Every structure is written in C-alpha cells, then in structure tokens.
Structure 1
C-alpha cells in the first residue's frame, strides 16, 4: 500500500507499529544505513502492514542479520526540514558589522 506524502509528494508506505498500534509513514524502499523499522508479513483489519520499531540490541541483531530495514519518513521528509542555520562563528562576525535593514527618516 503506497501513497504520497502530502508535504513533499514523495512515495511512502504506511505501517502500524506493534508496540503502540499507531500508524507510521515509511520510505518506500529499505535503507541499509539508516533503517530502524522492520516490516512484518501480517496485516491489520484495514490491510496495513504491521512493523516493529527497533532499538538497542534488537536493532543491532537485525543489522547483523542483513534484514531489510526502513526509515520513518519524518526523518527524510524535505518539506519539514528546518532551514540551514548560520554557524555561530559566522553569525558573530556578520552580526557585528551588519547594518540595520530599517531606513531611518529624519
């Protein structure tokens, strides 16, 4: 069951977590490097796949077994990503000499 993200229009798939039973949006394809979610073969009453969000030892075991792991889409969505912040050393240097944007009328 694939869909599109309403914010960035990327292809995603929905899964239901086994721990809390909440729905989670996942990237469509597995990611060997950043994946933390394992899909199961079982489906709920709505036809949505069940998935396990892995942490700690279970995540290490899944990576060692070369299992297909998926990334939650909230981690890769470009629409919700914050703007690139200015580094502190640049902010201090620019802030000291940067003129005001307001024009004063006397």
Structure 2
C-alpha cells in the first residue's frame, strides 16, 4: 500500500490513490468496505518498478454489481471496494449537538 499517511483533521491512517481519469489524488480509508465503498482500486507498476495506486469511481449499475461481488467474495482482492476518507472522517462530520436548518 505504500508509505503510511495520516489525515490532518482526524489523525486516522489513510492511503493515497490517483483517481482515473482526472489524475487527482484521493485519500482512502485503509480498510475496504463493500457497503460504503465507491472506488475500485488497482495497482500499476511502471517500467522503473514504481507501484502506483489508482482508483476508478463506480456508480449506478456498475456500483451495485461491484458491491454484490464484494459481499459474495470478501477474500478476493480484485472485488474489494474502497471508501473515500472524507466520507468517514470524524473531524469533518458535524458535531452531534449542532443542528441544521
């Protein structure tokens, strides 16, 4: 997975990946989750041997099928779905006493 990294907001461990096709860096939770995951992760090794983590965001029918597969085959590394860290970051969630109007 590469070097460990930590969220600046909540201090939980995260992993960075490159979103395809935009090339933007995306922070991921370090554990896959078939219920919350929206990214399919792949590792690419370039000609110098450098390994890069890339993700593709799934939606609609593709996401439904991927979640079904991840639930059926939890040990299959190719079927895992990864969660963007901003969806679970405790520092980014509103405080329980705050109300939204």
Counterpart selection for 1:62 from 62, 66, 81: 66
Work out whether residues 16 and 28 of structure 2, in 8 Å CA contact, stay in contact via their aligned partners in 1: yes
Residues 13-32 of structure 1 correspond to what in structure 2 (within 5 A)? 13-32=15-34
Report matched runs for 1:1-106 at 5 Å.
1=2, 2-43=4-45, 47-66=51-70, 67-84=79-96, 85-86=98-99
Any runs of at least 4 consecutive aligned residues in structure 1 with deviations exceeding 4 A, and if so which?
Answer: 43-47
**Cα RMSD between the aligned structures?**
2.1
Count of paired positions: 88
Q: Structure 1 stretches of 5 or more lacking a match?
A: 89-106
1:43 & 1:22 partners in 2: Cα distance?
18
Q: Larger strand proportion, structure 1 or 2?
A: 2
Unaligned ranges ≥5, structure 2 = 71-78
Relative contact order: is structure 1 or structure 2 higher (C-alpha 8 Å, sep ≥ 6)? 2
Native 8 Å contact 2:41 2:56 kept in 1: yes
- TM-score normalised by structure 2 residue count: 0.75
Larger C-alpha radius of gyration, 1 or 2?
1
